[in-house]
Amino acid sequence: MSAATPGLIVAAPASGTGKTTVALGLMAAFRGQGLAVQPFKNGPDYIDPGFHAAATGRQSFNLDSWAMSAPRIAGLVGDAADADLAIAEGSMGLFDGVALPGEAGTGSGAELAVLTGWPVLLVLDVSGQAQSAAATALGFARLRPDLQLAGVVLNRVASGRHEALVRDGMAQAGITVLGALPRRPDLELPERHLGLVQAEEQSDLTARIDALAEFIAAHCDLAAIRAAASGILPPAAPLPVTPPGQRIALARDAAFSFVYPHLLAGWRAAGAEVVTFSPLADQGPDAAADVCWLPGGYPELHAGRLAAAGNFRRALADFAATRTVHGECGGYMVLGQGLVAADGTRHRMAGLLGLETSFAKRRMNLGYRLAELRGPMPGHPPGMRLRGHEFHYATTTAQPDAALALVRDATGVELPGTGSRRGNVTGTFFHLIAAAS
What whole-number distance in Å separates Cα of residue 396 and Cα of residue 429?
A: 10
Which 3 state secondary structure label does DSSP give 267? Answer: helix
Q: Residue 258 contacts by C-beta under 8 Å, 6 or more apart in sequence?
A: 46, 47, 295, 296, 297, 328, 329, 330, 431
Side-chain-side CA neighbours of residue 132 (13 Å): 6
**Residue 329 annotated to the active site:** yes
Q: Residue 60 contacts by C-beta under 8 Å, 6 or more apart in sequence?
A: 39, 40, 41, 48, 49, 50, 52, 53, 261
What whole-number distance in Å separates Cα of residue 267 and Cα of residue 15?
A: 32
Which 3 state secondary structure label does DSSP give 387? Answer: strand
What whole-number distance in Å separates Cα of residue 118 and Cα of residue 107?
A: 16
User: Which is catalytic among the residues 141, 329, 404, 405?
Assistant: 329
Q: Residue 419 contacts by C-beta under 8 Å, 6 or more apart in sequence?
A: 332, 371, 403, 404, 405, 407, 426, 427, 428, 429, 430
Do strands 431-435 and 385-392 pair parallel, antiparallel, or not at all (unpaired)? antiparallel
List, by residue number, the catalytic residues: 329
